[in-house]
Amino acid sequence: MTVAITFMLGLIAAAYSSADSALTSLTTSFCVDFLGIGKKTEQKARKIRRQTHVGMSLLLILVVITFKYVLDRNVIDGLLTVASYTYGSLLGLFAFGIFTKHQIKDGFTWIVALISVLIIVGLAKIPTGYLGGYEFGYELLPLNGLITFIGLWLIRKKPETIPTST
């Protein structure tokens, strides 16, 4: 019994620590990147940070409540499913940047990412009867990355050829 109680207390402490770190990161990122508090006076910046922290706390509570009532499975499974849609495109962008030297037409990048996500959502919605009982799962994440990579390949800038003089 003592081991179970100690384990649960440790688990709760780890969860609070993670939630606290996430909340602090969200608050800081939002204040710096979106609200530009670096250009404000210290007193004004402190007030903005406190209000943002309360707002992010309420948003976090709403997200938790939404997960409870919207998802028909556990939170981790839901997060991994959502990650399949969102992080797959990031994976494709990262892989393209690391493994190729190609320049891309930047204005089309968001379109490639959006189309990739829409394709993945479409694949996830295919009834299992059409696929012989197969159901897509976490493999949608690397598949999303591959589709994004191919899309970036299609919008790459063609290397300019330098005419040679004769």
DSSP secondary structure letters along 65-131: HHHHHH-SS-HHHHHHHHHHHHHHHHHHHHHHHHH----B-GGGHHHHHHHHHHHHHHHHHS-GGGG
Query: HSE on the CB side for 15, CA within 13 Å?
Result: 6
Q: What is the pTM of this model?
A: 0.59
Mean of per-residue pLDDT scores for the chain:
86
Task: Find out whether 141 and 91 touch, Cβ atoms under 8 Å.
Answer: yes
Q: Tell which wins on pLDDT, 60 or 151.
A: 151
pLDDT score, position 19? 78
pLDDT score, position 55? 93
Model confidence at 152, pLDDT cuts 50, 70, 90, reads very high
Task: From residue 122, give the alpha-carbon distance in Å to each of 119, 144, 151.
Answer: 5, 11, 17
Confidence check: pLDDT of 44 > 90: yes
Q: What are phi and psi of 45, to 5 degrees?
A: -65, -40
